[in-house]
Amino acid sequence: MLQILRRDPGALYWSLGLHLLFALLLFVGVRFTQDASNGGDRPRVVQASVLGDPALSARVQEVRERLDPEARAEAERRAAEEAARREAERQAAAARAEAERRAAEEAARREAERRAAEEAARREAERQAAAARAEAERRAAEEAARREAERQAAAARAEAERRAAEEAARREAERQAAAEAARREAERQAAAARAEAERRAAEEAARRAAEEAARAEAERQAAAARAEAERRAAEEAARREAERRAAEEAARREAERQAAAARQERIARESEQMAALEQQRFEDEIAREAERLEAEAAETARRSPSVVAGGGGGGLSSAEQRQIDYYKGVIGDRVRQHFAYPPGMSEGLSVEFEVRVTSAGYIVPGSVAMQRSSGTPAFDQAALAALWRAEPLPVPSGALFDQFREFTFTFRP
C-alpha cells in the first residue's frame, strides 16, 4: 500500500473516496417510492431526505404506522431485501477493498523484488565491469611488460649490432691504414728513385742553365733597369695627372657649392619677396573682387528685387571661377618654389594629382593620388616632394574653400 501511495497517491485517494461512498449508501439508503398496486389507489408521494440514524429511524417508524398491515408487511419485506442487498454490497466492497489491499501489497512486494533484482543485477554488472577492467588492466600490464621486454631485447640486439659494426669498421680501418702505409712506402721508394734520377738530371741541367741564367740575368737586369725607369716616369706622370684632376674636381665642386649656395640664397630671397608680393597682390585682389561682387550684388538686387539670393541653379559664377583659377595659380607658384629638376631631366613635363586639404592649407595624410603620370617616375616623385614641401598651401576661406577640399592639381614647372 505504501508503494502504491508513493507511486500514485491520487489512485489511493479515489479508492478511499469510493469505499466511503459505498459505505454511506449501505447505511443510509432508503426506498422512498411506494408500490402503486394497493387497491387501485393513487400512489402516495413521499418526500424524503438523507438524515442521520436517529432521524432515519423515526421517519421509518412514522411511515410504518401510516401504512396498512399488508403494505407494512410489504415494506418490511422490501426493507429486509434492501438491507440484505446493502449488506451484500458492503461485503462485496469489503472483499474488493481486501482484494485491492492484497493486490497493492503484492504489487509492492513485486516492486520491491524487482528493485532488489535490479539492484542485484546492477551490482553484478558493476562487479563484472570491475572484473573486466581489472582483467583489461592486467592484460595491458602484461602487454606493456612484453613490449618493454621486446624493446630491451631490440635495444640489446641493436647494441650488439652497433658494437659488431664498430669492430668491423675498426678492422677495416686498420686494414686500409696498413694498405695505405704500404702504398705510401712504395710510392716513397719510387719517388726517391725518381728524385735521384731527377737530381742528377737537374744537376746537369742546372749547370747548363747556370750558364744560360748568367746570360739571361744580365739581360734581365738591363730590362729591369729600363722597366723601373719607365715605371717611375709613368707613376710620376700619373701622380701629377691625378693631382691636377683632383684640384680641378675640388675647384668644380667648390664652384658648384658656391653657386648652389648663391642660388639657394637667391631663391630664398626671391621666395620671400614673391610671397610678400603675392600676399599683397592676393589681399588687394580679394579686396577688389569683394568690392566688385558687392557692387554686382547691389546692382542685381536693385534691378531684380524679387529674386531670392542663391537661387540661380547652384553653378559657379565667373567671378568665383576666376578666384578658383587665381588660387590654383598661386598654389602652382608655391610648389614651383620648392621644385628642382632631377639631373638629366628634359623640360615640358607635367603631372596631375588629386589632393585633399584642410581649411588651414595642410594636405590630408594619405590623400594625394596620382591621376595622370608624366611618364617619368623621377619627375613625378620630385613634383610630389615639392607639393608636400609647399605646405601650407594658399587656399581660400569661407564658402569658396569647398572647391578646394578635394581638387585636381596639374603641375608644370
Q: State the Cα–Cα distance between residues 392 and 408, nearest whole angstrom.
A: 17
The pTM of the full predicted model, rounded to 2 decimals, is: 0.28
8 A C-beta contact, residue 374 and residue 351: yes
Amino acid at 271: S
Report how many helices (DSSP H) and strands (DSSP E) the chain contains, helices first: 6, 3
Q: Which of 154-163, 284-293, 332-341 has the lowest mean pLDDT?
A: 284-293
C-alpha 288, offset from chain centre: 61
Helix axis angle, 9-28 relative to 69-303, nearest 10°? 140
CA 350 to chain centre: 46
- Judge contact between 361 and 336, C-beta under 8 A: no
Please compute the mean of the pLDDT values over residues 161-169 and round it to a whole number: 92
CB 332 within 8 A of CB 411: yes
Taking residue 68's Cβ as centre, other Cβ atoms within 10 Å add up to: 10
Q: How far apart are CA 136 and CA 142, in angstroms?
A: 10
pLDDT by residue (tens digit) across 177-193?
988 998 999 899 988 88
Please compute the mean of the pLDDT values over residues 21-48 and round it to a whole number.
59
Identity of the amino acid at 285: E
Handedness of CA 145, 147, 151, 154 (dihedral sign): positive
Q: What is the DSSP letter of 36?
A: S
* pLDDT > 90? residue 277: no
Percent of the chain with pLDDT over 70: 77
Using CA atoms, how far apart are residues 146 and 138, in angstroms rounded to an integer?
12
Q: If we measure between CA atoms, which residue out of 358, 355, 360, 348 comes closest to residue 386?
A: 355
Model confidence pLDDT, tens digit, residues 296-306: 666 655 554 33
User: Ramachandran region of residue 313, left (φ > 0), alpha (ψ -120 to 50) or beta?
Assistant: left
In the 8-state DSSP scheme, what is residue 359?
T
Q: Is a pLDDT exceeding 50 seen at residue 311?
A: no
pLDDT of residue 313: 36
- At residue 292, the pLDDT reads 65
Quick check: 408 and 372 in contact, CB under 8 A?
Answer: no
Q: Which residues contact 297 (CB under 8 A, 6 or more apart)?
A: 309
Among candidates 361, 356, 357, 380, which has minimal Cα distance to 370? 380
Specify the 3-state DSSP secondary structure of 357: strand
pLDDT tens digit string along 187-235?
A: 999 888 898 989 998 898 888 888 888 888 888 898 888 889 889 888 8
Residue among 137, 185, 17, 22 at smallest CA distance from 88: 22
Model confidence pLDDT, tens digit, residues 112-157: 999 999 999 999 989 999 998 999 899 999 999 999 989 999 999 9
SS3 194: helix
Which residues are CB-contacts of 257 (< 8 A; sequence separation ≥ 6)? none
Q: Are 349 and 374 in contact (CB under 8 A)?
A: yes
User: Strand, coil or helix: what is 363?
Assistant: strand
Q: What pLDDT is recorded for position 150? A: 93
- Whole-number percent of the chain with pLDDT over 90: 34
